Amino acid sequence: MKVLATESRLADPDRTYRALIEAHRGLSDEDSAALNSRLVLILANHIGEHAVLQEAIALAKQSMEPVNDASK
């Protein structure tokens, strides 16, 4: 079974990040949310592995937990 890749797989991460920013620039929050919803469905299908998607969801949820570490 495939596992979620968390090491960097992008040749140019800055460019990829920028592509996401550009896609949303000028959109209202509502339109951004609609765009993201479409993107998530498209990418989920592209991943094509339910277990990998579950891992991605878990990672995303985990990253939303409040950070206790006060040091910088």
Partner 1 sequence: MNTRKALYQYGYRRCADQDRPSAARHPVVVVGAGPVGLCSAIDLAQRGIPVVLLDDADRIGEGSRGICYAERTLEILDRLGVADPCLEKGVTWKVGKVFQRNDLLYAFDLLPEDGHKMPAFINLQQYYLEHALVERAAALPNLEIRWRNKVVNLNRRNDGATLTVETPEGLYDLDAEWVVAADGARSALRGMLGLAFRGEVFEDRFLIADVKMKGEFPPERWFWFDPPFHEGHSALLHKQPDDVWRIDLQLGRDADVKAEQTPERVMPRLRQMLGHDDFSLEWVSVYTFQCRRLERFVHGHVVFVGDAAHQVSPFGARGANSGIQDADNLAWKLALIIKGEAPERLIESYDLERSAAADENIGHSTRSTDFIAPRSAQELRFRNAALTLARHTPFAKRMVNSGRLSMPSTYDTPLSTPDVDTWSGSARLGAPVPDAPMRDRKGQPIWLLDAIGGEETILQVPNGTPPQQGSRVIVLGDDLIDAHGVFAQRFDASPGSTYLVRPDQHLAARWRHGTPSLLESASRRLRGFEGDHV
Applying CB under 8 A, which residues contact partner 1? 33-34, 37-38, 40-42, 45
The least CB distance from residue 12 to partner 1, in Å, is 27
Q: Within its chain, how far is the Cα of 55 from the centroid? A: 12
Alpha carbon distance 70, 8 (integer Å) = 27
Q: Which is nearer to partner 1, 18 or 51 (CB)?
A: 51
Residue 8, helix vs strand vs coil: coil
Based on CB atoms, which residue is closest to partner 1, 33 or 58? 33
Q: How many CB atoms lie under 10 A from the CB of residue 43?
A: 11
Shortest distance in whole angstroms from residue 37 CB to partner 1: 4
Structural tokens at position 72: 């910088």
* Residue 13 beta carbon to partner 1: minimum distance, rounded to whole angstroms: 26
